[in-house]
Amino acid sequence: MLDKEVNQFEAPYTTQVPVTEVVQGVEITDPYRWLENGESVEVRAWTETQNTYTRSWLETRPGLSELKARLSQLLKVGFVYPPIRKAKRYFFISRSGAQNQAVLYVRENGEDKPLIDPATLSEDGTIALDWWHPSENGELVAYGLSEGGSELSTLYILDIATGKNLSDSIAFTRFCNLAWLPDSSGFYYTRFPEPGSVPAGEEFYNLKVFLHKLDDAVGQDILIFQDSDPQAGLELLLADNGRYLLVTVAHSWAVTDLYWADIQQPEPVFSKLTEGLQSLNLVEESNGYLYILTNRGAPRFRVFKTSVATPAFENWREIIPEGEHPLQNLKVIGQQLVGIFLHNAISRITLYDLEGKPEKDVELPALGTVYGPMNSSKEDELLFSFTSFAYPITAYSYHIGKEQLEIFKAHPNPPGFDPSNIAVKQVWYNSKDGTPVSMFIVHKADLTVNEQCPVWLTGYGGFNVSRTPEYGSGWLRLWLEQGGIFALPNLRGGGEYGEKWHEGGMLGNKQNTFDDFIAAGEWLIANNYTNSTRLVIQGGSNGGLLVGAAITQRPDLFQVAICQVPLLDMIRYHLFLIARIWIPEYGSSEDSEQFQWMYAYSPYHHVKDGQKYPATLITTGESDGRVDPLHARKMAALLQAKADKTRPILIRIETRAGHGQGKPVSKMVDEQAEIMAFVLWQLGLEKAV
């Protein structure tokens, strides 16, 4: 920690061009509005100046090369995401230690063969595989590629037998959802409008469903469905051997609607099955029946069953009532319903018969997190992946009849990492309003815990996302090796305890998320895990907003802040990129009541002159297509201008990188090493390397 180096951290001056406007009766002056235009010559020059300043501090840190070397080892640990079986083939994403990016593989007759390796598609490794969907006969794969972290996918179709793409190519298929026809002759898919065909900015919205037949030109694709809500997300399910198409319309992370049509009719008409329900609804189909997972009248979810031919709400029949723990996912595998529950933020798998009678639990390798499960064309095979704080993401196959769990594919821990020396505990603490909040605490089993230990506190708390035990990236294991403690609270706004927990940290309740996070830091100090000079906070995206709120509300509580791809100007956030889809979660300053909530916590609007803020490193990607980098740029400039200069305020802006998806390992090593070097420097622990 370098508080003794008074006024050493005088960052490059950023020109102020104040813009004053009245929003909902409040006069707001923004000195850095000009930094919003990332394409301008001036902003590009500012970016280069800031990156040069940041490099001057980070690239000269003692031990940086050692950190990179160890991270290169730690990031060589592989992972395997849940396989999908189609006909006789398994498809899965995996990365081994030697690979720079994850690869799509196919397994046939016990042999694994790479299908799509993004590392072979560009010299710098910045072409990413965004999504993929194998055909029903297992002979084709539709997949999306994008460049530079943009996630602006183009759809291609790979013929597995030849290893070559078909002639089909469809642009504007970002986040594409796709349902193959039963005979694999084509598919229904989602597509965004072409830029220029709609007003500027609207190309991020107005998602539509089309039918594409193989070898047809895109112009021949038939429009099938479009919702009246331009911000809605769409998910597709073909049912009853392709006769019915179900479209799940996501209006927010709290409300989805189901639409249904008999598409064998000459002019199919979609019926809304969830009129007035105002709930989350997820649907599965098997043998002519729909199984609907919903939180309608059940914050922890329940399951209904109905015929696919008569799916109106009045025909829904409850088969699995709401239980004590949230039911997060449901799949139909043969004659079984597979339910994935969260028991105090730890995954459990329960099998039911098709009428909802519980039959057995699947014994998992440890306390951890289940990804999936995925459907399999084998009626007795459950495919999923599992991870914990000590074990990498491993794919499993569970044979239901034999009650036998087998490893489908695994990668070993990196050299020098002993999973038996990892101690994990879950504690509960009270938030500001008295609400009990759970938190995972992880450290080496042989660590002597006391108030001098460095603690890395992270969180998310939004969008119904559950933060559960996971192996994580290389920095977590590196932190534990440095004698650090890792703390992960399950903040309100997440989905760990059902929809009420989510609602407790969204819209007008968003301050609860920040209170939960701050209370976690206070608890760790009060219980002698650390002290405020050894407490690091970190978060990305919505978690970046969390960090921004924490340092502006309690700058005294934390020594170091790592704020990644953040939202920080909550008064203008909804005007950029895809951010309008987040209005149901945060609100909008265009609404007078919602403005009051958001202005009360918006980090960019609560930076104070002369305040001693934690040493702060803000990171972003120049091509981020989700959270506009303007937030990072403006906040960095404002903190540099107003903070007391006794601690560094740095921004690291990565070129040809986005929100983090598809980032090659080589870039991850550089970024994580520099972040760790910054943290150790500001904790006074550089000699620990």
Q: What is the mean pLDDT of residues 145-166?
A: 93
Q: State the pLDDT at residue 660.
A: 58
Report whether 314 contacts 290 (CB < 8 A): no
Here the tokens at position 122 are 């560009």
Residue 58 CB partners (closer than 8 Å, separation 6+): 64, 650, 652, 674, 677, 678
pLDDT tens digits, one per residue of 593-602? 999 999 999 9
Burial of 343 (0-12, 13-18, 19+ CB in 10 A): exposed
Residue among 12, 61, 23 at smallest CA distance from 676: 61
pLDDT tens digits, one per residue of 66-90? 999 999 999 888 899 999 999 999 9
Burial pattern 137-150, b for ≥16 Cβ within 10 A else e, equals ebebbbbbbbbbbb
Q: State the pLDDT at residue 4.
A: 40
- Cα–Cα distance, 193 to 442 (Å, whole number): 46
Alpha helices in 59-207 (DSSP H): 64-74
Confidence band for 305, pLDDT divided at 50, 70 and 90: very high
pLDDT at residue 688 above 70? Answer: no
pLDDT tens digits, one per residue of 473-493? 789 999 999 999 999 999 999
Residue among 299, 406, 307 at smallest CA distance from 354: 307
Q: State the pLDDT at residue 662.
A: 61
Active site (annotated) includes residue 438: no
The answer to whether the bond into 373 is cis (omega within 30° of 0) is yes
Report whether 435 contacts 492 (CB < 8 A): yes
- Domain map of the chain by residue range? 47-73+415-688
pLDDT tens digits, one per residue of 318-374? 999 999 999 999 999 999 999 999 999 999 999 999 999 999 999 999 999 999 987
Q: Which one from 150, 347, 541, 589 is the annotated catalytic residue?
A: 541
pLDDT at residue 605 above 50? Answer: yes
pLDDT at residue 689 above 50? Answer: no
As a three-state string, the secondary structure of 333-383 is ECCEEEEEEEECCEEEEEEECCCCCEEEEECCCCCCEEEEEECCCCCCEEE
Q: Which fold has domain 47-73+415-688?
A: Rossmann fold (3.40.50)
Q: What is the mean pLDDT of residues 293-300?
A: 96
pLDDT at residue 3 above 80? Answer: no
Confidence band for 687, pLDDT divided at 50, 70 and 90: low
Q: What is the mean pLDDT of residues 21-43?
A: 98
Report whether 350 contacts 339 (CB < 8 A): yes
pLDDT tens digits, one per residue of 98-112? 788 889 999 999 999
Q: In Å, how far are 95, 112, 510, 615 from 411, measured between CA atoms? A: 9, 14, 39, 37
pLDDT at residue 159 above 50? Answer: yes
Range ranked top by mean pLDDT from 95-99, 237-241, 431-435: 431-435
Active site (annotated) includes residue 659: yes
Q: State the pLDDT at residue 98.
A: 73
118/379: higher pLDDT: 118
**Beta bridge mates, 654:** 621
pLDDT tens digits, one per residue of 218-272? 999 999 999 999 999 999 999 999 999 999 999 988 899 999 999 999 999 999 9
Confidence band for 567, pLDDT divided at 50, 70 and 90: very high
Q: Which one from 411, 443, 502, 659 is the annotated catalytic residue?
A: 659
